[in-house]
Amino acid sequence: MIPFLDLKSINQQYRAELIEACTQVIDSGWYITGQYLEQFEQNFAAYCGSQYAIGVANGLDALILTLRAWKELGKLQAGDEVLVPSNTYIASILAISANDLVPVLVEPDPSQFNLDPNKIEAAITAKTKVILPVHLYGQLANMPEIMRIAKKHQLLVLEDAAQAHGAQIQGKKAGVWGDAAGFSFYPGKNLGALGDAGAITTNDVELATMLRALRNYGSHEKYKNLVQGVNSRLDEIQAAMLDVKLKHLDNEILQRRAIADIYLTQINNPLLQLPLQNVNAHDYTQHVWHLFVIQTQNRQALQQYLADHGVQTLIHYPIPPHQQPAYQQWNHLSFPISEQLHAQVLSLPMGPTLNKQDAEKIAQLCNAFRA
Ligand SMILES: *Cc1c(COP(=O)(O)O)cnc(C)c1O
């Protein structure tokens, strides 16, 4: 069986380094908000090119707390509207509703899976305050264009960068385009902890200070509470694990790109539509291939056929947010692009330890598939 993602083999590459880092944390006698978190925050901010990184408990909290911080800072209030892609993972939307803000779903460009800038302006109302682009599957949304629209309408921009650590356009990485960005270090993400973890990047010192308070009971100074915060801290042990893995991230991205290149150059079955990289002649772009997502009208048959030949695939995601029971108020609405994507997407195995022969075998199997 070729697994969809082999997390064990990824982490085993760094086993000795991870154990050494773990031992250091154990022996330090300090397990929450200490030197390992601080070091990882500095290193991750430097990697992204941002002024600050603030570690939190997970990616969802990174998004929730950023919107919450903007409320505390008087930049947002309950009822304000946030534009978000209609095909995103549910977490982007949960972060909006958790803050009593109103998610406004905007259809993606189906060839890129990301927010279609041409559809953003039509969705802006007097209540719109934030654009929340999601860099889905590892490719940046069209940030130059989204930032132009945001500036024109004086909107805040919160990037959901949970799937795009290291992805770039014009040499500028995920996490430094918007006013802030939320990252997830869930184990299966491109930069994954050995448990839950997340972070926010920003260049705004006021926001960074508020976030540091919010994640720690609203306390900026011990036993003094500025705001009604939560407990959402990134543990020392996970920070130490992440610091080890951050050093290898660029190399892992290259390994993912090598697999993507095999799929892109070798799969040529007209029943399958391959993902497009953002093709803009003079922009240097880097897709980090969190997922390799094809589209096909024969998804169920293809998935079964690949499974029968020992290849595990997954669907990201089978049900669009507006059809989820959790968002009943949208169940009667129609988002045709998103609905078609949810019916046709299939993710092929992708990861830094997937070997080239297996990727070639998968490409050949795809080519031999008949509806
Ligand atoms: C994984 C993910 C999140 C949430 O991250 P967690 O760490 O699992 O809370 C948010 N948005 C997107 C697009 C994701 O893929």
With a 6 Å cutoff on the Cβ, whether 92 touches ligand 1 is yes
Nearest residue to 167 (alpha-carbon basis) of 41, 278, 52: 278
With a 6 Å cutoff on the Cβ, whether 269 touches ligand 1 is no
pLDDT digit string, tens, across residues 85-95: 999 999 999 99
Q: How confident is the model at residue 6, as a pLDDT? A: 96
H or E element, residue 257? helix 236-266
Q: How confident is the model at residue 281, as a pLDDT? A: 44
With a 6 Å cutoff on the Cβ, whether 186 touches ligand 1 is yes
Q: How confident is the model at residue 220, as a pLDDT? A: 84
Phi, psi of 181 (to 5 degrees): -140, 145
Q: For residue 266, how far is its CA from the centre of ligand 1 (angstroms)?
A: 31
Token duo for residue 306:
């690949």
Q: How confident is the model at residue 223, as a pLDDT? A: 87
147 close to 154: Cβ distance less than 8 angstroms? no
Q: CA-to-CA distance for 92 and 101, rounded, in angstroms?
A: 12
Neighbours of 3 (CB within 10 A): 16
Nearest residue to 162 (alpha-carbon basis) of 218, 113, 105, 92: 92
Q: How confident is the model at residue 280, as a pLDDT? A: 57
pLDDT digit string, tens, across residues 16-48: 999 999 999 999 999 999 999 999 999 999 999
pLDDT digit string, tens, across residues 105-127: 999 999 889 999 999 999 999 99
Ligand 1 atom with minimal separation from the 196 CA:
7
Residues of the chain with pLDDT under 70: 278-284
DSSP state, 225?
E
